[in-house]
Chain A
Amino acid sequence: MKRSLLTLAATLLVALTAAAQTPAAPAAAPPAAAASAAPAAVPITDADLKGVEAPKAELRAKGDPDGNITGTVADVAVSDAKKGLTISDLVNQVGQNKIGINFVWTLVAGFMVMFMQAGFAIVETGLCRAKNANHTMMMNFMVYGVGMLAYWLIGFALQMGGVGAVGNLGGSPVLNSEFSITLFGKSFGLFGQNGFFLMHNGSYDVAVMVIFLFQMVFMDTALTIVTGSAAERWKYVAFLVSSFVLGAFIYPVFANWAWGGGWLATLGTNFGLGKGYADFAGSGVVHSVGGLTALVLAIIVGPRIGKFDRDGRPHAMPGHDIVLVLTGCFILAFGWFGFNPGSSLGASGSGNLRISSVAVNTMLAGMAGSFGAMFYMWMRYGKPDSSMSGNGLLAGLVAITAPSGFVNPVCSVIIGLIGGVLVCLSVEFVERVMKIDDPVGAISVHGVNGIWGVISVGLFADGKSNYGGSWNGVTGSVTGLFYGDPGQLVAQLMGVSALLGVVFTVAFVANLVIEVLVGQRVSAKAEVEGLDLPEVGAVGYPEFELKASAH
């Protein structure tokens, strides 16, 4: 059984790799005759619009069952009633429609990402023991509020305060102040300075509100990753302070470097490294930042009592509800359709019809990730492990988050498949070699696969995407090593180095300070009895009799 599964997996991987690198056939040129036969463009004047009439009132009074007379010239706003409809009115309406489509797209995608908080909450709670259910759920619940407060007060301005005009959302230029230093003769953007409280320096603006909502739910995703690795022994007060610091300072500063016009984004314009660091939806910005901070907390807080014996051998501590876990994975997979396609920040104009490709890449990679993990566990342990299959799905989704906007479907499957196997290998390494206790696998799912996702952009980006003709201010499409641009891989690796060297270090120092000030870990007594009563005052399942146990 194991051998046949192994052969099947190897054959599939070889076939996919060959298919992914097959050069595409040159696009058929449009027939010259057809082009020359096209009628010459005739300019439209205001006079041409006079004959366009709205449906008669008596017709409207009968209702519109087939939808043919709803949404007509009568719905185009006229700026001057005396002049009637003009070309200027028409063009303004077209512009507003485009921005309206992009607003709605981005907002709805943001609402979907917000709902991922529920997915994370039940995945983590299901993977923890029943005696800690309320505490784990409460952390996942309040991280939403704590993160939002920190981001509204401080984080948003640091991240996006210098991003400049976002064309897809109307090009509002109010977020225009970036703090930069000069290094190696080039400008290095470090953090933004506009947009505090969403009122500062003209940031009370409709486009800024869209950017804030969408970026806020992304930031909160990073924060909620951390609660998983420190679950079942993290002091609630320490969780609140640590989450605030992450949402106000650490996450926004790295996000500024990647998305806010900071120095990683300008590696292309300043140093000729591809199109600069490219992270379409945040494998690095969201998942690696969350996953590395999860590693920081898991190290500082230490393993749960009973996780390792005196010889350092790990013991399984199964979660209490696998139904919650897999349901949560489905909710997360649904939310990911907001996470990745929504990161285009628009559906109309500037190559944004690519959102269909982004959505399909996302679902394919998730599928491949779940298969990768399931087959790995099946071959290694003889059974297709449920929770690891769920983590494989999430690993595939995390890995495709950065490259989803730049790769083709076959490469998406390869990226997801590798992610699914990688999460299993990483969980074993973290537990058996590093002796770190990560109850939900957050470090492996988000930290390790986030980094894999960032690197995979530098390998697999096929140069076919075109978001308005440039990326990070460099003309052309993001193209990885396998499609001819090794410089893009260097830019991606520079991002990985910043994540490991700066984000990890700063998060570690910040949480060491919190350790000194309030302590990070609960008492051994509280841990053994369960954190629900001592930390949040009520048990998760009051009608169940729970046994106090170290295991």
Chain B
Amino acid sequence: MVYVGLLITLAGFVLSLLSLSLASSTGARMGMVLAGIAISLVGIIGVINQAYVKNAIWKR
């Protein structure tokens, strides 16, 4: 799951980057960049961290 989380985190950035090409208005670009940031946060907090918490030292 850690590697999946890393891919999701990176994918968020790719979406933000694509806003430079796919959108021309400032509002559309802002929407895509915010979506990209949200996806990256899901990857970090929801996937990568959860994968580590699942096997945390205090659960053993």
Contact = CB atoms under 8 A, between A and B. Distances in A.
A305 B13 CA distance: 35
Helix, strand, loop or mixed for chain A's interface? helix
Contacts of A434: 45, 49, 53
Given A489-B30, A508-B48, A498 B58 contact: no
Given A299-B49, A497-B33, A500-B40, A184 B20 contact: yes
Given A303-B58, A436-B49, A501 B30 contact: no
A170 interface: no
A493 B40 contact: no
Interface stretch (A120-128, A306-314, A472-480): A306-314
Contact of B58 (A267, A307, A496): A307
Contacts of B48: 299, 508
B16 to A, nearest CB: 4
Nearest to A304: B57
A509 interface: yes
Given A300-B52, A303-B57, A308-B58, A505 B9 contact: yes
A312 B58 CA distance: 7
Contact of A493 (B2, B27, B37, B59): B37
A400 to B, nearest CB: 22
A302 interface: yes
A273 B1 CA distance: 36
B6 interface: yes
Interface string B17-59: 1011100001101100110110011001100110011001111
A494 B40 contact: no
Contacts of B30: 486, 489-490, 493
A496 B37 CA distance: 7
A512 B51 CA distance: 14
A497 B40 contact: yes
A397 interface: no
B18 to A, nearest CB: 9
B52 A500 contact: no
Interface string A290-302: 0000010001101
Interface in A426-456: 434-436
Contact of B12 (A303, A308, A486, A497): A497
Contact of B44 (A307, A494, A504): A504
B35 to A, nearest CB: 10
Contacts of B36: 497, 501
Contacts of A303: 56-58
Contact of B40 (A295, A436, A504): A504
Bin chain B's interface residue count.
20 to 34
Contact of A299 (B11, B29, B52): B52
Contacts of B33: 490, 493-494, 497
Interface in A293-348: 295, 299-300, 302-303, 305, 307-310, 312
A184 B21 contact: yes
Contacts of A309: 58
A15 B59 CA distance: 48
A354 B44 CA distance: 39
Nearest to B40: A500
Given A271-B20, A487-B26, A501 B13 contact: yes
A297 to B, nearest CB: 12
Nearest to B44: A504
A504 B9 contact: yes
Contact of B53 (A435, A497, A509): A435
A104 interface: no
A502 interface: yes
Nearest to A307: B58
B32 to A, nearest CB: 9
A192 B45 CA distance: 33
Contacts of B56: 302-303, 308, 435
Contacts of A490: 26, 29-30, 33
A263 to B, nearest CB: 9
A500 B9 contact: yes
B14 interface: yes
Given A271-B20, A434-B49, A493-B37, A501 B12 contact: yes
Interface in A413-437: 434-436
A501 B58 contact: no
The 5 closest A-B pairs by CB, nearest first: A501-B13, A497-B16, A500-B40, A308-B58, A184-B21
Interface of B: 2, 6, 9-14, 16-17, 19-21, 26-27, 29-30, 33-34, 36-37, 40-41, 44-45, 48-49, 52-53, 56-59
Given A302-B56, A505-B9, 5 more contacts: A302-B52, A497-B36, A501-B10, A501-B12, A505-B13
